[in-house]
Amino acid sequence: MYLKKVNSSEDFNTEISGDLRSITRDFVFVSQNDKTRFAAESCIDVLRAANTLIGKELYTWSHKIANDQDFNPGACNANHTLVLAGGIFEPWFAPIDQLSQIRSNLRTAARVCVIGSAIFIPLCAGILKTQKTSVHSQFRAAVKERGYVSNFHSESICHQASLSSAVSPNAAVEMMIQLVSARNGTFIATALRSHLGLTSDQSISKSREHWHFKRLAEGNRVVSEALDIMHDHLEDT
């Protein structure tokens, strides 16, 4: 993972879309413990939904639970996005004797995503000092005490060239949608939010088949309008 300083005025789409090499199709999830595994599973649901809407198994993933004896996420390489899924109640500190391996995994992965308390992992590994990140208010004081010298990102989600951060498991779902959007376009992001029930606008809540065929239409106005008409008259035989 290559980290660089980011101008706070840089736009997300410009920053991420300009370097799609760091947004991979293969994800490795490591949860802090059993209490936070739901954070990783919620993110995996985004990838699973994306595969459904796209119509093929584009994204793959693995998921492990960290503990005091073993943090190793397994075969993490330059083709992987490493997602560290923490919570919002207690810091996540890795055993000192594993920091060398952790540092190697963080630097090898194409992209690293940290959720909630997982912010302490790259910080303790010595590779997070001046990069702007989103940090939950519960951990900000402790993060500063650990040597973080940058200003906190003001939003709940922050993206850099090879680092994404979300303040909580709930914010992580939107973080994942934005990463998928950067690779597959804003249309799929809208479809994901609708499919996952994350939009209050029920007028765009359509079936996964509808979103799939709309995507296949590739913006063709006539086909898209025809699909919308068909959807609006499903019960009109």
CB within 8 Å of 90: residues ≥ 6 apart: 117
pTM of the model: 0.78
Q: How far is CA 111 from CA 68, 70, 76, in A?
A: 24, 21, 11
Sheet strand arrangement including 163-166:
60-65, 26-31, 80-85, 111-115, 163-166, 157-159
> What is the number of helices (H) and of strands (E) in the chain?
9, 6
Contact 78, 129 (CB under 8 A): no
DSSP class of 161: S
Asked whether residue 175 carries a pLDDT value surpassing 90, the answer given is yes
Query: Are 180 and 46 in contact, with CB atoms under 8 Å apart?
Result: yes
| Distance separating alpha carbons of residues 23 and 78, to the nearest angstrom | 10
CA distance 58 to 44: 13
Distance CA(143)–CA(31), nearest Å, equals: 19
What percent of the chain has pLDDT above 70? 72
The residue-averaged pLDDT of 61-89 equals 83
What whole-number distance in Å separates Cα of residue 164 and Cα of residue 133? 8
Taking 50 as the threshold, does the pLDDT of residue 136 lie above it? Answer: yes
Rounded to the nearest 10°, the torsion over CA 104, 108, 112, 118 is -10
The answer, yes or no, to whether residue 20 has pLDDT greater than 90, is no
Least confident window among 3-12, 25-34, 45-54, 116-125 = 3-12
For residues 166 and 46, the answer to whether their CB atoms sit within 8 Å is no
The bridge status of strand 157-159 relative to strand 111-115 is unpaired
Pick from 92, 57, 56, 78: nearest CA to 169:
92
Contact call for residues 123 and 148 (beta carbons, < 8 A): yes
pLDDT of 179 higher than 70: yes
For 197: left if phi > 0, alpha if psi spans -120 to 50, otherwise beta; the answer is: left
Mean pLDDT of the region 80-94: 95
Higher pLDDT, 125 or 205: 125
Report pLDDT for 13.
45
The SS3 call for residue 130 is: coil
Residue 59 DSSP one-character state: -
Q: Is the pLDDT assigned to residue 91 strictly greater than 60?
A: yes
Asked if residues 192 and 46 have their Cβ atoms less than 8 Å apart, the reply is: yes
DSSP code at position 82 = E
